[in-house]
Amino acid sequence: EVSLTHVHNSGLLLNTSRKIMFGEAGEYISGDNTDLSIVSGGALTYTAGASSTWGVTGDLKMDVSGNIVLDADGDDIAMVAGGAGSLTFVHSNTGDWSINNSATKDIIFCHDEATEIMRIDASSSSLLVATSKKIEFRDTGLYINSSANGQLDIDADGELEITAPIVDINASTGLALDGANLNSTWTVNAANKIQFRDDAIHISSTADGTLSVQADTRVDININGTNPPTTIPNAAGLISGSNVAAI
């Protein structure tokens, strides 16, 4: 039996598990003393003429067999956490999307709740990659990361190519090429020097057509264990210095 009872000063009461149907049996509202169900065999449309609020005590779960579409004619879709700030997805009139954080807090990307991959660092307006995590290119063999604090690693399983009119490397301690051969011609500009140990031992070209080898104590030229080699003549005094062995 279906009964509809008027409850004084409260409303109309439909007996337990019964339905109010609209048009057909598949469109209805029902309740079981705990939950309220709104059921439709087709689309369910909610229309309001003003801003509306759904107040839910607990979690709000949307379980659909297809897609969830949020269509905002005002171009902003905001997620607000307890009224203390919002993360807003903004669609511009040029078609671009931006993600804005209303509070001066970071946006953190994790692959689970505990392991951070990277974050948008609000304090420095930068992208901060966590610990030794990597930015990979194409596959796992090409990446940039920091394997240890104070060190930046650029790794490639084939070739690392840097193309620019000028490559400026400022190394306060030194430049190390471990296990590498120079497979091309390097040109030292003007009178700049290649130094060894300190600034008193170096090779340079002090003028066009001249190679200068400088040492503050001695220059040894060894060929097949012979020092100095007898095959290099000091013609016309072109080899000079304060400690030049007879050749």
CA distance 195 to 208: 19
pLDDT in tens, 10-38: 998 888 888 999 989 889 999 888 888 99
Q: What's the confidence (pLDDT) of residue 225?
A: 62
> Considering only 39-48, 76-85, 110-119, 238-247, which range has the smallest mean pLDDT?
238-247
pTM of the prediction?
Answer: 0.63
CB 139 within 8 A of CB 145: no
3-state helix, strand, coil in the chain (%, to 5): 0, 35, 65
CB 232 within 8 A of CB 244: no
Statement: residue 103 has pLDDT above 60: yes
pLDDT in tens, 51-62: 888 888 888 888
> Considering only 157-171, 176-190, 193-207, which range has the smallest mean pLDDT?
176-190
Among 16-30, 81-95, 100-114, 152-166, the range of highest mean pLDDT: 152-166
Beta strands in 102-207 (DSSP E): 107-110, 116-121, 126-129, 135-137, 139-148, 151-155, 194-196, 198-204
Between vectors from CA 32 to CA 26 and to CA 36, what angle results, nearest 5°?
Answer: 65
CA distance 116 to 29: 44
pLDDT mean over 137-147: 97
Q: 239 pLDDT band (50/70/90 cuts)? A: low
Token readout for 8 is: 């004084």
CA distance 188 to 194: 8
Task: Give the SS3 label for residue 236.
Answer: helix
CB 211 within 8 A of CB 222: no
CA distance 140 to 138: 7
CA distance 69 to 57: 24
More confident site: 102 or 47: 47
